[in-house]
Amino acid sequence: MSNSNTALVTGASSGIGMELARIHAAKGYDVVIVARTEDALNSLKQELESAFKVKVWVIAEDLVEPESAQRIYQQTKSNGIEITTLINNAGFGGHGLFHERDLAKDQAMMQVNMVTLTNLTHYYLQDMIKAKYGRILNVSSTASFMPGPLQAVYYATKAYVTSFTQAIAEEVRDYNITATALCPGTVATGFVSSGDLDGVSAWDNAKTPKSVAEVGYRDMEKGELVSFNEKGLKFMTNWIMPLLPRKKVLKISRQFMEK
């Protein structure tokens, strides 16, 4: 099969990103995988190339660095790789009272979750506009629909992602380009330990990264604006939360995050 649909996937070394890269490669398409850990990316490259006979490029970049998006874009351009599917999956969270948290960690979170995602979208969207084709999947969260006491910055970054994605989708729909925000609930990934979320009850019924990736990829192909991996979450965010008093929402949200 031709590589006419090459995807770039950030945060591809584990979790949802790795599963999204697998799904794309399983369809016979080439993929560029991006993360900090080169070893993990190289082993995924070997797995995908041998299993699906596709071409896999590895780009080791730390998305906390302000210039990382530009470097990634330039690397794909100089290799003559045309990205038709952009999957912004990389992101991380952090637990605790905002005023007690390390500000540098929250600034890094804002950089990865919002700024680098925005920069990558800006660069690759230019080429998609010229080609009059493209698919963008931004991994957001159901956290994007409410404020998150004890995860104040994380929830706010995801609110940005969900809003930004839908606005872009409307701007580019005449160019045969779609943008989808994947808004899963809790997922069993390294996010829990890296975000100091061990012991938080919200993760008791966490879904697998594979199941979330399958829903997100399918909805991206369909051009859905917002993708939920659980019907209950969709109902809750669309019909229950908006009707509750704000202070009640904040109280429920905080209880979810307490250890």
Q: Where are the domains of the chain?
A: 6-257
Query: For residue range 27-86, what is the model confidence (pLDDT) as tens digits?
Result: 999 999 999 999 999 999 999 999 999 999 999 999 999 999 999 999 999 999 999 999
**Element spanning 17, H or E:** helix 15-26
- Kindly indicate the confidence band of residue 201, based on its pLDDT and cuts at 50, 70 and 90: low
Count Cβ neighbours within 10 Å for each residue of 141-177 and write b for 16 or more, e otherwise.
bbbbbbebbbbbbbbbbbbbbbebbbebbeebeeeeb
pLDDT of residue 3: 46
Angle at 202 between CA 196 and CA 204, to 5 degrees: 95
CATH number of 6-257: 3.40.50.720
Q: Is the dihedral of CA 216, 182, 151, 241 positive or negative?
A: negative
Q: Per this entry, what is the length of the chain?
A: 259
Please compute the mean of the pLDDT values over residues 230-246 and round it to a whole number.
80
Residue 21 has pLDDT above 60, yes or no: yes
- For residue 199, what pLDDT band results from cuts at 50, 70 and 90? low
Q: How far is 191 from 51, CA to CA, in rounded Å?
A: 27
